[in-house]
Every structure is written in C-alpha cells, then in structure tokens.
C-alpha cells in the first residue's frame, strides 16, 4: 500500500506543526472522519516476506498457529495473504469443517493465489480482493484474523481496523506478526501497534517475541463499543532513533 504523496510545502508544514504541538494533528482526517496516521506507511515491495522452505525450516507457521490456538473447524481470515504461505497451512489446520478467507489488495496477487488454491484443491478456502482501507470481511464470521508482516503497509490503519472489527465473532482474536522496527523499514514498533489498536477499541491480550517469524506476535480482542470515526485520535509517532 503506497503512502499518499503531498507537495513538499504541505508536508513540511504538517511536520513542523506536529513538532510544535508534540502530538499528532487530529485535524488531518479523511472524508469519512478517520485520522491519518502520524507516521510513515511502508510501500508494498513484494507478495512474499521470505521463501516458504526457509520459513518452514524455522517452523514459523506451526508456531504461530499454535500460539493463536488454531484448531479444526475454525473460520480464519488471512489478510494480506500474498502468495499464500499462511493460507495453505491454515487451510490444512482448520480442516474440512473449517474455512479460510484469503484477502489481498493487489489483483494480480489475488489471482495468482486463487490459481494456487484451485491447483491444490483447497475447497475450504475462498480468495477475494480487498481495499486498502477496508478488508471487506463479512460480519460476525471469524474466530481469528491473521495480519502477518503487512500491518505497516496499511495506508489508513484506523479506518482499516474500524471496518474490520465487526467481522470478529464473540471471543474472536486478531493475530498480528511484525518486526520491531520503524514502519518505513517494514515493521511496527510494539507500543505503536498497541496504541493504534487501542484507539479503535481493541484490547491487547498478549504480546511476545516470535523469533521464528522475524519479530513478535500480538493478539488483540475487540472491547466495548466501536468508537465513532471522529472520536478516534491518532497515536503520536514514535521517537526517531538518534545517533550516538
């Protein structure tokens, strides 16, 4: 998901304003009232995070699915599914009685994954195209929503998380795997992730290191009423690292 481009004078003015206030400028909102993130958004550079053989040697998917409590009969969404590393393994884990919905926003990637699903005859998998600000998930449908190495690429995270919330069943959880580094470097600092989810009404259940997946795992649940878009406040950008 590519970040929005603005002219240099506007960008500089917004940066100076944020620096003077010491907080994000919540007046920077989209047409639906959602705040813009007060940090960079990483661009999509590949439909894969690493090759599947290397990931399996580290037992990545098995470890993540175990910690997420994935078992037969569950319904799971794989957001930003890419080439389908998790989609294929989730389908095997949930079995014939379960369902997996794999979603991506790049049509060519979605089409390639649909071809792979058909070739491997995964009848419990559906593949669909989402929007950069809306995963377009059916309401009250999912026990787990996976977001693996893709959160930092979401251009409108507050709107995306807000529109995703109704898709969770009671007790449903969002599983995030990401690297602990700045968003422009294809990761998400853990405290920023916690803050952005909390702004939309998600409670952090637990966060723990996940070396096999190249970072950490965080598990969230929706809590309370979903806030109105205009009541959501953007989280302040993390402090930039300093030399020396």
What are 42-87's pLDDT values in tens digits? 886 654 556 899 999 999 999 999 999 999 999 999 999 999 999 9
pLDDT confidence of residue 207: 98
pLDDT confidence of residue 50: 62
- For residues 75 and 98, the answer to whether their CB atoms sit within 8 Å is yes
- Asked if the structure places residue 177 within a domain, the reply is yes
- Asked if the structure places residue 113 within a domain, the reply is yes
**194: nearest Cα among 210, 212, 180, 213:** 180
> Domain range spanning residue 53?
39-223
With a pLDDT cut of 90, the percent of the chain lying above it is 78
Q: What is the rounded CA–CA span in Å between residue 13 and residue 29?
A: 16
pLDDT confidence of residue 242: 44
What are 95-135's pLDDT values in tens digits? 999 999 999 999 999 999 999 999 999 999 999 999 999 99
Answer yes or no: is pLDDT of 232 > 90: yes
- Asked if the structure places residue 21 within a domain, the reply is no
Phi, psi angles (nearest 5°) of residue 71: -145, 165
- Kindly report the pTM of this predicted structure: 0.84
CATH number at residue 54: 3.40.50.150
- Asked if the structure places residue 9 within a domain, the reply is no
- For residues 137 and 164, the answer to whether their CB atoms sit within 8 Å is yes
Answer yes or no: is pLDDT of 148 > 80: yes
| Residues 17-35, mean pLDDT to the nearest whole number | 61
Answer yes or no: is pLDDT of 14 > 70: no
The residues near 231 (Cβ < 8 Å, ≥ 6 apart) are none
Domain total in the chain: 1
pLDDT confidence of residue 30: 83
- Asked if the structure places residue 1 within a domain, the reply is no
- Asked if the structure places residue 171 within a domain, the reply is yes
């Amino acid at each position: 998901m590519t970040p929005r481009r603005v002219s240099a004078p506007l960008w500089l003015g917004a940066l100076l304003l944020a620096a003077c206030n010491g907080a994000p400028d919540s007046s920077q909102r989209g047409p639906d009232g959602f705040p813009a993130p007060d940090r960079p958004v990483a661009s999509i550079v590949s439909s894969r995070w690493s090759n599947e053989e290397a990931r399996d040697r580290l037992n990545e998917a098995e470890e993540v699915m175990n910690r997420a409590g994935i078992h037969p009969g569950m319904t799971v969404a794989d957001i930003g599914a890419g080439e389908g590393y998790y989609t294929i393994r989730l389908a095997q884990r949930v079995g014939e009685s379960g369902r997996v919905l794999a979603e991506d926003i790049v049509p060519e990637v979605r089409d390639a994954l649909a071809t792979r699903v058909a070739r491997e005859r995964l009848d419990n998998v559906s593949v669909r195209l989402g929007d950069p600000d809306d995963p377009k998930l059916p309401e009250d449908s999912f026990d787990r929503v996976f977001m693996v190495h893709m959160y930092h690429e979401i251009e409108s995270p507050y709107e995306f998380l807000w529109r995703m919330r109704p898709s969770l069943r009671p007790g449903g959880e969002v599983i995030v795997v990401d690297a602990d580094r700045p968003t422009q470097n294809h990761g998400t600092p853990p405290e920023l992730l916690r803050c952005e989810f909390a702004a939309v009404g998600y409670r952090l259940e637990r966060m723990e290191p996940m070396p096999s997946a190249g970072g950490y795992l965080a598990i969230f649940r929706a809590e309370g009423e979903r806030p109105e878009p205009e009541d959501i406040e953007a989280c302040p950008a993390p402090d930039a690292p300093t030399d020396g």
